[in-house]
Structure 1
Amino acid sequence: MSARVSVDVEKDAGGDYAHLTNTAIRSFGWENVTVTVKDRSTKQPKDILSGVNGIVKAGEMLALMGPSGSGKTTLLNVLAHREATPHATVQQSLYINGTKTSLKDFRKISSYVEQEDALVGSLTVRETLYFAAKLSLPSSVTKTERIARIDALLAAFGLQGQADSLIGTPIRKGVSGGQKRRVSVAGQLITSPKILFLDEPTSGLDSAASFEVMNFVQSIARKYKIIVIASIHQPSTTTFELFDKLLLLSRGKVAYNGSIADVKDYFSTLGFNMPLYMNPAEYIIQLVNTDFSKDQTKATSQLSTIQDSWSKSQDAATMVHSIETEVSGSPIGVNSDLGHGAAANPFLVPFTLIHRSFIKSYRDIVAYGIRIAMYMGLAIMMGTVWLRLSTDQSNIQSFTNAIFFGGAFMSFMAVAYIPAFLEDLSLYHKERLNGLYGPTAFMISNFIIGLPFLFVISLLFSIIAYWLGNFRPSAEGFWVWVMWLFLDLIAAESLVVLLSSLIPIFVVALAATAFANGLWMSVNGFMVQPETLNVFWRYVFHYIDYQAYVFRGMMVNEFGKRTYTCGSDCHCMYPSKLEAECKIDGKAVLASYGYDTGNISKYVGYMLVIILGYRLLGWLVMYLRKQ
Structure 2
Amino acid sequence: MKKQGCEVEGIDINYMIRTKATDQPSIIISSTPQLIREEDGHVAQDEAKTEERSCSGVRHVLKNVNCIAKPREILAIVGPSGAGKSSLLKILAGKASSQSGCILVNQEPVDKAQFKKNSGYVTQKDTLFPLLTVEETIMFSAKLRLCLPQEQLCSRVKSLILELGVSHIARTRIGDDRVRGISDGERRRVSIGVEIIHDPKVLILDEPTSGLDSTSALQIIDMLKLMAESRGQTIILSIHQPEYRIVKLFNTILLLSNGIVLHHGTMDLLGVNLRLVGLELPLHVSVVEFAIDSIETIQQQQKCQQFMLVFEKSKKGGKWLETRKYIKP
From 146, 154, 175, the counterpart of 1:147: 154
Residue 34, structure 1, aligned to residue 46, structure 2: no
Please tell me the residue identity of whatever aligns with 1:133.
A
Deviation at 1:167, TM superposition (A): 1.0
Please tell me the residue identity of whatever aligns with 1:67.
P
Deviation at 1:227, TM superposition (A): 0.5
From 273, 280, 291, the counterpart of 1:266: 273
Structure 2 CA distance for partners of 1:248 and 1:305, relative to 1, 3 Å: farther
Please tell me the residue identity of whatever aligns with 2:235.
V
Q: Is residue 12–residue 101 contact of structure 2 (8 Å, CA) maintained in 1?
A: yes
Structure 2 CA distance for partners of 1:309 and 1:108, relative to 1, 3 Å: farther
1:166 is matched with 173
Q: Deviations over 1:480-535 (max 9, x none)?
A: xxxxxxxxxxxxxxxxxxxxxxxxxxxxxxxxxxxxxxxxxxxxxxxxxxxxxxxx
Q: Is residue 97–residue 327 contact of structure 1 (8 Å, CA) maintained in 2?
A: no
Structure 2 CA distance for partners of 1:260 and 1:172, relative to 1, 3 Å: same
1:91 is matched with 100
Q: How does 1:276-315 map to 2 (within 5 A)?
A: 276-288=283-295, 290=296, 301-302=300-301, 304=303, 309=307, 311-312=309-310
SS of structure 1 residue aligned to 2:284: coil
Which structure has greater helix proportion? 1
Deviation at 1:299, TM superposition (A): 7.7
Deviation at 1:271, TM superposition (A): 1.5
2:90 is matched with 77
From 328, 335, 340, the counterpart of 2:319: 328
Q: How does 1:248-259 map to 2 (within 5 A)?
A: 248-259=255-266
1:129 is matched with 138
From 182, 185, 191, the counterpart of 2:189: 182
Q: Is residue 6–residue 201 contact of structure 2 (8 Å, CA) maintained in 1?
A: no
From 202, 209, 214, the counterpart of 1:195: 202
Deviation at 1:283, TM superposition (A): 0.4
Q: Deviations over 1:545-596 (max 9, x none)?
A: xxxxxxxxxxxxxxxxxxxxxxxxxxxxxxxxxxxxxxxxxxxxxxxxxxxx
Q: Is residue 64–residue 231 contact of structure 1 (8 Å, CA) maintained in 2?
A: yes
Q: Deviations over 1:60-85 (max 9, x none)?
A: 1001111111111111111111125x
SS of structure 2 residue aligned to 1:30: strand
From 50, 53, 63, the counterpart of 2:66: 53
CA-based RMSD of the aligned residues comes to 2.5
Q: Is residue 63–residue 232 contact of structure 1 (8 Å, CA) maintained in 2?
A: yes
Q: How does 1:210-225 map to 2 (within 5 A)?
A: 210-225=217-232
The number of residues matched between the two structures is 288
Q: Is residue 49–residue 253 contact of structure 1 (8 Å, CA) maintained in 2?
A: yes
Deviation at 1:92, TM superposition (A): 2.0
Q: How does 1:505-584 map to 2 (within 5 A)?
A: none
SS of structure 1 residue aligned to 2:162: helix
Gaps of at least 5 residues in structure 1 are: 5-21, 291-297, 331-627
Q: Is residue 302–residue 308 contact of structure 2 (8 Å, CA) maintained in 1?
A: no
Please tell me the residue identity of whatever aligns with 1:55.
I
Please tell me the residue identity of whatever aligns with 1:282.
E
Structure 2 CA distance for partners of 1:300 and 1:326, relative to 1, 3 Å: same
Please tell me the residue identity of whatever aligns with 1:275.
P
Which structure has greater strand proportion? 2
Q: Which moved more, 1:99-108 or 1:259-268?
A: 259-268
Structure 2 CA distance for partners of 1:97 and 1:163, relative to 1, 3 Å: same
SS of structure 2 residue aligned to 1:311: strand
SS of structure 2 residue aligned to 1:203: coil
Deviation at 1:55, TM superposition (A): 1.3
Deviation at 1:305, TM superposition (A): 5.8
- Look at both structures and tell me which one has the larger radius of gyration over its CA atoms: 1
Q: Deviations over 1:72-105 (max 9, x none)?
A: 1111111111125xxxx62121111100122211
1:473 is matched with none
Gaps of at least 5 residues in structure 2 are: 23-53, 322-329
Q: Distance between the aligned counterparts of 2:318 and 2:192, measured in 1?
A: 30
Q: Is residue 72–residue 249 contact of structure 1 (8 Å, CA) maintained in 2?
A: yes
Q: How does 1:97-136 map to 2 (within 5 A)?
A: 97-136=106-145
Structure 2 CA distance for partners of 1:54 and 1:299, relative to 1, 3 Å: closer
Q: Is residue 99–residue 327 contact of structure 1 (8 Å, CA) maintained in 2?
A: no
Q: Deviations over 1:286-316 (max 9, x none)?
A: 111x4xxxxxxx786346569x74523xxx4
Q: Distance between the aligned counterparts of 1:148 and 1:311, measured in 2?
A: 49
Please tell me the residue identity of whatever aligns with 1:190.
I
1:43 is matched with 55
Q: Deviations over 1:241-298 (max 9, x none)?
A: 111100000011110000123322231222211111112221011111x4xxxxxxx7
1:206 is matched with 213
SS of structure 2 residue aligned to 1:212: helix
**Residue identity (%):** 30
Q: Distance between the aligned counterparts of 1:269 and 1:198, measured in 2?
A: 32
SS of structure 2 residue aligned to 1:276: coil
Residue 231, structure 1, aligned to residue 238, structure 2: yes
Q: How does 1:359-508 map to 2 (within 5 A)?
A: none
Q: Distance between the aligned counterparts of 2:166 and 2:60, measured in 1?
A: 43
Please tell me the residue identity of whatever aligns with 1:301.
Q
Q: Is residue 11–residue 66 contact of structure 2 (8 Å, CA) maintained in 1?
A: yes
Q: Distance between the aligned counterparts of 2:272 and 2:15, measured in 1?
A: 31
Please tell me the residue identity of whatever aligns with 2:14.
T
SS of structure 2 residue aligned to 1:107: helix
Q: Deviations over 1:197-229 (max 9, x none)?
A: 100101110111100111111101111110011
Q: How does 1:337-356 map to 2 (within 5 A)?
A: none
Q: Distance between the aligned counterparts of 2:109 and 2:263, measured in 1?
A: 25
Please tell me the residue identity of whatever aligns with 1:127.
E
Deviation at 1:30, TM superposition (A): 1.3
